[in-house]
Structure 1
Amino acid sequence: MAERTVKILYIASTFGHLAAFHRPYLRWFAARGCEVHAAAAGEPDTLDGVSRMIALPFEKSMASPRNLAAAVRLRRLLREEGYQMLSLHTALAAFFARLAVQGMGAKRPCVMNTVHGYLFDAHTPPAKRALLLGAEKCTARVTDYLLTMNRQDREIAETHRLGRRIYATDGMGVDFSRFQPATPAQRAAARRSLGIPEDALVLVYAAEFSGRKNQAMLIDAMTGLPENVWLLLPGRGALLEACSARAKAGRAAARTVFPGFVPDMERCYHAADVCVSASRSEGLPFNIMEAMHCGLPVAATDVKGHEDLLRDTGAGLLFPHDDTAALARAVRALAAADRRRAMGAAAHRSVQRYALERVFPQLTGLYAQALDGWLEQQGGNVS
C-alpha cells in the first residue's frame, strides 16, 4: 500500500446521491487502504468505507449564497486535511468544489469530476446555456479527469475542452440482481398491491418529482389515451403535490397512481407493461436501465441519456420532448403485446453492458490510474 495515508474526499449535492450510486466505489477505496471522507448536503447516511461525513450547505439554486459558503468551507477543509483526490458528483457540487480548489497551487488534490448529465444541451435557451457552459469552462483547468456517460456530454466536453483528460464511461454501473423479468404470478401480485386491474396497459415512470423530470406531461397525456391505460408514478419530490393535484383535475385521476417512495422498485416494474420518461435531460438514467433489465420496452423523450439507451437498440421508441401527442402515439404503438415482448427482450439484452459487474472494473481502473499517477507526480505511490 502507500507509504503514507492516502485521503479521498467524495463530494455531491446530497448524501442520498452518494448512497444511491457510489457505495461499491467507496468500499473499494477503503479496501485499498485509503481514508475516505464524504461531503454533501442533507442527512448523512451510513456509508461503508467512509470514516468521516461532512455536512455542507448546498442548495439547488446556483445563485444561493449558501453555495458560496460551502465553497469557502471546502477550501478550508482541503487545506486542513490534505486530500490526494477529490471525486466530484452532481453539477452544482462539482462546480463549487472546483471553485474551492482554484488557486491552491501545485499541492492541490487530483480532481476527478464525473458528469452525471450536464444541465444544458443544444436545445437549452442561449442565456442559460452560456451561464452553465461558462461555469464548466472556468473550472476546466482544475479538472484533471472528466468522466462522461453519454454521447452528447462527451461531445460537449471534448469540443470545449472541459477537462485535462476526458474519458467516456458506461455510467456508474447498475446492480441488476433485483431487477429481473416478472413471472405471471409476480405481475399479478404487484398489480394487486398497487390497486391496478389485471387487464390494464400500465406505464411506469420512477423519478423525483421535479420540473426537469416533467411528470406533468405524462399526466396531461393520459386524458387522450384509452381507458385501459394506467400511469404509475412512484417517487417523491418538490412537485409531487402539484402533480397529484394536476391528475385529480384531469379526466384520468382514477388511472394515475402515486405510491410515493417505493423501497422495492422491482414491484412497480413487475406491475408495468411499458417504461416511459418525459425528462428534459439525463445522464444515464438508472430508472430506465432497471426497467429494461426487467424486460420492459421504453417510450422516452429524445434527449441525451435516453438516446444512448434506445437509439439503434430495438429497445423502445423516442419522441420529441414536450410533445404530448407524440408520446400518445408511442404508447399506442406499444399497445400490441407482440411488439412489447420483442422490444422488451431487446431491452434486456442491450442493457447488459451497464451492469455493475462490467462497469466496476472500468471505473476502478480509471480511479487507480488517476490516483497512482497523481501520487507519483507528488512524490509518493500506492501499491
Structure 2
Amino acid sequence: MLKVFQVVQHLRPGGLENMVLDIQQFSDFNQNTWIVSLEGELETAIAAWPKLKHCADRLIFMNKQPGLTASTYHKLCQLFTEHQPDVVHTHHIGPLFYASTAAKHSGVKVRIHTEHDAWHLDDMKQRLIQKCALKIANPILIADGHAVAASLDRYLGLDKVKTIHNGIDTNKFFPGSQHKARRSLGLPLDVKFIGCSGRMELVKNQELLIYAMRYLPEDVHLALAGHGSCFEALKYRTLVEGLSHRVHFVGFTDNMPDFYRALDLFCLPSLNEGFPLAPLEAQACNIRALVTDVGGAKETLCPESGKLLPSHHAKEAAELINTMLNGKMSISPRNFITRHFDVREMAKAYDDVCHQGYRDTSTPLEH
C-alpha cells in the first residue's frame, strides 16, 4: 500500500479542507494517508473543528509562522526523509512552494499538485512564485475544474493539465424533511428560505443577498451558515437595513445536510471561486441552486434546474430568486450530482494518479 502525505496551508473549516479529509477517508490508502498542515497546532485545530478528532492520529502540524520561513522547508525535508512517503500531494500555492519542492529534494517519487482556483494568478508575484515552484518540483498537475485548467493554460502556458472534479459524499448529503431540518436549526417553519454557506469574507459576497432581501416579499427569509472576518459587518448591515427578523445567522454547524434541507433555494454569490463544494452539497439534498459565474462555479450547476446569479446587482438577483422560488422543480438536481460528483469517484481518480505516477517512476526489475 502506498504511503501518501497530503499537504494543506491550514486545517480550518472550508471546502478545500473538507475535500482533503474526504480523499483521506475514501482513498484505498486511507489507513496510510497523513495530512500535513503548514499552519497551526493539533489541539487548537481540533478545538475549532471537532471533525478532526476522528483522524487526529494521522494529522501533522508544522506550526508555520507568517511570512516566508526557510525553517518550514527544512522541517518538511526532515519529515519526508524520516517517513519516506511514496506520494506527496499538495493543495494550493503555499504547500506547492514549500512541500512539493521539499519532496523533490527529499527524493519522494511521486509529487502531485492540485490547483483549486486560479484567481491568485492575476497577481504577477504569485504567478512567478507558482511558475518557479512548478519548475523545481515538477509535480503531476491536476485542476479541480475545467475553468481552473483553462486559467493555468492562459497564465502559465500549461496545456496538459488533468482535471479531477471535486466530489461530495452523496450518502451524507441526501434529501430529507424540511420541517425537521428547520426545527433542528431553530428556523421559522412558515416562510420561504434562501440560504448560503461558507466563510464570511469579502470575496464570498454574502452582502449581495442581504441587499437583495429588500426587494423580496416579507415571507422570504435568508439563512447564512459559517463564520469569518465579515461576520459582525454582515450582522450590522442586516440591522441597518431593518432585516434582523428575516436574516438568520446560523453560524458554524457540523450538521450541513440539515442546513441545506431547510432551504427552498441555495445561493452562492461569490466574487471569486475555484470549484465550490457547497452547491454540490445543496443539490445533492435536492435543493436548486443559483451561483455566480466565477471560476468553476457554473460547472457545479445542474443544467436543468440551476441558474447563474448576477454578482453586483441586488435588484436583479432578487428578481431571479423570486422567480425560482415561485417556480416548480421538474428536474431533480440530486440525480445530476450523484452521476457526476460523488466523492468515491473523485478518490478513485486520485488513487489512479498515485498508482500510475508510482509505476512511471519505478525502476523495472532486471532479469
TM bucket by the smaller chain? 0.7 to 0.9
Indicate the residue corresponding to 1:315 in structure 2.
Answer: 305
* 1:21 maps to which of 13, 16, 19: 19
Partner of 2:95: 93
Query: Shift of the alpha carbon at 1:133?
Result: 2.3
Q: CA deviation at 1:145?
A: 0.8
Check conservation: 1:91, 1:118, Cα contact below 8 A.
Answer: no
- Select which of 66, 72, 75 maps to 1:73: 75
1 CA distance for matches of 2:356 and 2:142?
Answer: 13
SS of 1:177 mapped into structure 2: coil
Report the Cα distance in structure 2 between the residues aligned to 1:32 and 1:251, rounded to whole angstroms: 49
Equivalent in the alignment of 1:12: 8
Moved more, 26-35 or 300-309: 26-35
Contact 2:165–2:346 under 8 Å retained in 1: yes
| AA in 2 matched with 1:281 | N
Q: Specify the alignment match of 1:333 in structure 2.
A: 323
2:361 paired with 1:355: no
CA distance in 1, matches of 2:25, 2:183: 38
Give runs of ≥4 in structure 1 deviating > 6 Å.
none
Instruction: Tell me, yes or no, if the aligned pair for 2:116 and 2:275 is still in contact at 8 Å.
Output: yes
Q: Deviations over 1:40-76 (max 9, x none)?
A: 423433454x8653322347xxxx4265543343234
State the alpha-carbon separation in 1 of the partners of residues 352 and 246 from structure 2: 47
Does the CA contact (< 8 Å) of 2:34 and 2:60 recur in 1? no
1:231 paired with 2:222, answer yes
1:134: Cα distance to partner?
2.3
Task: Compute the displacement of 1:155 (Å).
Answer: 1.1
How far the C-alpha of 1:132 sits from its partner, in A, is 2.6
The 5 Å alignment of 1:158-237 reads: 158-160=153-155, 166-171=161-166, 173-182=167-176, 186-237=177-228
Contact 2:6 2:20 (C-alpha < 8 Å) held by counterparts: no
Distance, in Å, in 1 between the alignment partners of 2:260 and 2:222 is 12
**C-alpha separation between the residues in 2 aligned to 1:54 and 1:66?**
20
* 1:281 maps onto 2:252 in alignment: no
- Alignment size in residue pairs: 352
Checking the alignment, whether the CA contact within 8 Å between 1:206 and 1:233 is kept in structure 2 is yes
Q: Is the 8 A contact 1:277 1:300 kept in 2?
A: yes
Closer, same or farther in 2 for the Cα pair 1:333/1:71, shift >3 Å? farther
Structure 2: distance between partners of 1:14 and 1:240: 20
Contact (CA 8 Å) 2:204, 2:269: kept in 1 or not? yes
Distance in 2 separating the partners of 1:119 and 1:67: 24
Question: Which sits farther off after the overlay, 365-374 or 254-263?
Answer: 365-374
Structure 2 Cα separation of the partners of residues 296 and 225 of structure 1: 19
How far residue 331 of structure 1 moved from its aligned partner, in angstroms, is 0.7
1:157 maps to 152
- Tell me the alpha carbon deviations over residues 77-130 of structure 1, each in whole angstroms, 9 at most, x when there is no partner: 33444433211123333333245457x38x354220112222347xxxxxx532
C-alpha contact 2:96 2:133 (8 A) present in aligned 1: no
Aligned residues of 2:88 and 2:108 also touching (Cα < 8 A) = no
Within 2, Cα distance between the matches of 1:29 and 1:298? 29
- In the alignment, the residues of structure 1 paired with residue 221 and residue 70 of structure 2 have an alpha-carbon distance, to the nearest angstrom, of 44
Change in CA separation of 1:321 and 1:243 when aligned onto 2, cut-off 3 Å? same
Q: Tell me, which stretches of 5 or more residues in structure 1 are unaligned?
A: 122-127
Query: Which TM-score applies when normalising by structure 1?
Result: 0.81
Match of 2:355 in 1: 368
Distance 2:240 2:98 in 1: 41
Native 8 Å contact 1:140 1:162 kept in 2? no
Please identify, of 231-240 and 322-331, the stretch whose mean Cα deviation from structure 2 is larger. Answer: 322-331
- Kindly state the Cα deviation for residue 226 of structure 1 after the two structures are TM-superposed: 2.0
Other-structure match for 2:129: 135
**Once the two structures are aligned, what percentage of the paired residues are identical?**
21
In the TM superposition, residue 292 of structure 1 has moved relative to its aligned partner by 0.5
* Residues in 1 aligned to 2:94 and 2:33: alpha-carbon distance in whole angstroms: 25
Q: Mark the CA change 1:214 to 1:80 in structure 2 (over 3 Å): closer, same or farther.
A: same
Distance in 2 separating the partners of 1:15 and 1:194: 25
Q: Secondary structure at the match of 1:10?
A: strand
SS in 2 for 1:9: strand
3-state secondary structure, aligned to 2:60: strand
Matches within 5 A, 1:220-259: 220-259=211-250
| Structure 2: segments with no counterpart, 5+ residues | 43-51
Q: Does the 8 Å CA contact 2:8/2:35 hold for their aligned counterparts?
A: no
TM-score under structure 2 normalisation? Answer: 0.84
Cα displacement (A) at 1:246: 1.9
RMSD in angstroms over aligned alpha carbons?
3.0
Q: 1:192 to 1:113 in 2, by over 3 A?
A: same
Structure 1 residues 38-47 or 232-241, which shifts more?
Answer: 38-47
Matches of 1:97 and 1:163, distance apart in 2: 21
Local SS of the residue matching 2:355: helix
What is the CA distance between 1:290 and its match in structure 2? 0.9
CA distance in 2 between partners of 1:90 and 1:222 (Å): 35
* CA shift for structure 1 position 10: 1.5
Offset of residue 247 of structure 1: 1.4
**In the alignment, what sits opposite 1:146?**
141
